[in-house]
Chain A
Amino acid sequence: MSAYKLETAPFDPRFPNQNVTRYCYQSYIDFHRCQKKRGEDFAPCNYFQKVYKSMCPNAWVEKWDDQRESGTFPGRI
């Protein structure tokens, strides 16, 4: 039986409060900015993906992915 290593997004001093909405949104944006700037295979970008997958509600991630695909995503990427 393999051991599962359970972990979540680390503490970030930019977002010290209980409401992590901005942490979620910032990580989502940073992941796509990182990919746009460094390419899809740049491994350090995956840190942001790990964070936003932990912090963001799945419904939001799906909505934003759809918006990005249709070109209506309101954030700056």
Chain B
Amino acid sequence: MQGLGLQSLKKNPALIPLYVCVGAGAIGAVYYIARLATRNPDVTWNRTSNPEPWQEYKEKQYKFYSPVRDYSKTKSAAPNFEE
């Protein structure tokens, strides 16, 4: 099919924006899924070594954009009774 190889792409340069948009969408989807898999406070890959993955967000921000509150100034109010 035309447009799938580099030579035919040079003959049909109008296809390049299509590649750019689809590529950006695919990269965005893969990035977001990878972020969810590795950073989401509800996801753990090893239940014995990381049983409560949300605990590492006691002072950290997970959301991309937080207009309401400044996470660098908020801390979890829960007292630490483990020690």
Main secondary structure of the interface of B (DSSP, over half): loop
Complex CA gap A44/B77 in Å reads: 11
Which of B63, B78, B82 sits near A16, CB closer than 8 Å? B63
**How many residues of chain B get a CB closer than 8 Å to chain A's CBs?**
23
How many interface residues does chain A have, given as a range?
20 to 34
Complex CA gap A34/B38 in Å reads: 30
* B69 on the A face (CB < 8 A): yes
* B10 on the A face (CB < 8 A): no
Known A13-B60, A16-B63, A22-B42; judge A33-B75 contact (CB<8 A).
no
Tell me if B78 and A47 are in contact (CB < 8 A): yes
Tell me if B74 and A13 are in contact (CB < 8 A): yes
Tell me if A48 and B78 are in contact (CB < 8 A): yes
Complex CA gap A12/B54 in Å reads: 11
- A42-54 toward B: CB 8 Å interface, digit per residue (1/0)? 1011011001000
Interface set of A (CB-CB < 8 Å, partner B): 10-16, 22, 26-27, 30, 33-34, 37-38, 42, 44-45, 47-48, 51, 76
**Selected A-B contacts with CB under 8 Å, 20 pairs:** A10-B77, A11-B69, A13-B59, A13-B61, A13-B74, A13-B76, A14-B54, A14-B76, A15-B54, A16-B57, A16-B63, A22-B42, A22-B54, A34-B81, A37-B81, A38-B81, A45-B79, A47-B77, A51-B78, A76-B51
